[in-house]
Amino acid sequence: MLTIKQITENTEAVLRGLEKKHFKNAKETIDQVIALNNKRRSTQNELDKNLAEVNSLSRTIGQLMKEGKKEEAETARARVAELKEGNKELDAAMTQAATDMQNVLYTIPNIPYDSVPEGVGAEDNVVEKMGGMETELPKDALPHWELAKKYDLIDFDLGVKITGAGFPVYKGKGAQLQRALINFFLDEARKSGYTEIMPPTVVNAASGYGTGQLPDKEGQMYHCEVDDLYLIPTAEVPVTNIYRDVILEEKQLPIMNCAYTQCFRREAGSYGKDVRGLNRLHEFSKVELVRIDKPEHSKQSHQEMLDHVEGLLQKLELPYRILRLCGGDMSFTAALCFDFEVYSEAQKRWLEVSSVSNFDTYQANRLKCRYRNAEKKTELCHTLNGSALALPRIVAALLENNQTPEGIRIPKALVPYCGFDMID
């Protein structure tokens, strides 16, 4: 969430940033925030003035009674009663203005960094780097959903029977491959200094608001209405919320956590060829990296996270590319985001497998996640997160890009985790 200081002291810069993100009605929304803040401040000033008068009169009443000036004391008492009644209304008005302002602030996305390219959608993203080796497949190469059926790895129809579309059932070596990837990703994260967390996969609304999924992505989240809890769309939500309403010491930073969880997304409005097989699921496995850092170090943290994800793709021997996302294609909460995509040779298309984002102070302000600096002053932290990695499209690319006439080859780095080097 943007701070009032950001908005009031750098209004034009904020408006330019919102324009880069193609946020509709930016001027009207910012004007509304400023008006509500002015109302809150003026009401607070009036309340403070009245409270000071109440305190002064209260001291005077005792002195007047001692001096035998009962009539003047009663007049003062009447004035105190009048002020207190008015203060109730002022306090209610101030609270309402603050609540209304907070609700409007929740609807405003983060401001992108200057390094974010201009653009409306995916076609305007900038390719920063390409890596990995091109794959040569047999002429009769199959897409992963057909390979999954051929080798009895994943049963999509059974998932439909049990739950519905987008909830596949992994079987045999397909299930083993999933587990192998999870353990591989967690081990690699641990080697890089991350502490593993095993969080809940349901969160309360406060957690959703803390990391920015609410109210922006409410329609994409599975909501357990009776308990008012949400199934998580990513481990970012529970892991980052560990630090909600927490003041950290500077020496604790950067905090580096990782977590494997199941993730749940309604993917409302998704249809067509892009949802075939594992391309777009409602439930999927993912290992997430989360960092909490001080502002001057977050750029380095972001780069270290990018290097980590790239290293995973290199070890999996997959062709990949790194995209710097344009303003119009970035998430609601991100100030800077890079996507990693792997190439699916059988489908002839790029598949997103990770987004690595720096949120600056946006989430920290919502979370009230702060640290105490060397001068003992509290400042907002920076938060960062990234997938390392999301499994479905990684599995899709591994199956498709490694198919041979003899079966599906397992990358060398995964063999110790799988216990086999070929799916046949």
Residue 375, Cα to own-chain centre: how many angstroms? 30
Select from 182, 211, 210, 177 the least CA-distant residue to 196. 182
**221: three-class secondary structure by DSSP:** coil
Look at residues 96, 5, 110, 84 and name the one whose alpha carbon lies nearest to residue 384.
Answer: 110
Interatomic CA distance for residues 199 and 237, integer angstroms = 10
265 is in an annotated binding site: yes
Determine if residue 375 is labeled as part of a ligand binding site.
no
* Cα distances (Å, whole numbers) of residue 423 to 158, 172, 195, 416: 21, 10, 32, 14
12 labelled ligand-binding? no
Give the residue from 307, 399, 400 showing the smallest Cα distance to 354: 307
Strands 223-224 and 195-197: unpaired
Q: Which residues of 155-179 are buried (b: 16+ CB within 10 A; e: fewer)?
A: bbeebeeeeeebbbbbeebbebbbe
- Going by C-alpha positions, the residue among 131, 190, 184, 164 that lies closest to residue 317 is 131
Vertex 261: Cα angle to 260 and 264 (nearest 5):
145
Alpha-carbon distance 347 to 353, whole Å? 15
Residue 321 marked as a ligand binder: no
Looking at residue 244, its amino acid is: R
Residue 288 annotated in ligand binding: yes
User: What would the DSSP string read from start to end of 308-346?
Assistant: HHHHHHHHTT--EEEEEPPGGGS-SS-SEEEEEEEEETT
Rounded CA separation 294/370 (Å) = 9
Q: Does 354 appear as a known binding residue?
A: yes
Task: State yes or no: 74 annotated in a binding site.
Answer: no
Q: Is 385 annotated as a binding residue?
A: yes
Coarse DSSP helix, strand, coil percentages of the chain, rounded to the nearest 5 percent? 50, 20, 30
Binding residue per annotation — 355?
yes
Where do the DSSP E strands lie in 5-63? none
Question: How many whole angstroms separate alpha carbon 329 and alpha carbon 197?
Answer: 30
Binding residue ranges for L-serine: 234, 265, 288, 385
Binding residue ranges for ATP: 265-267, 352-355
Binding residue ranges: 234, 265-267, 288, 352-355, 385
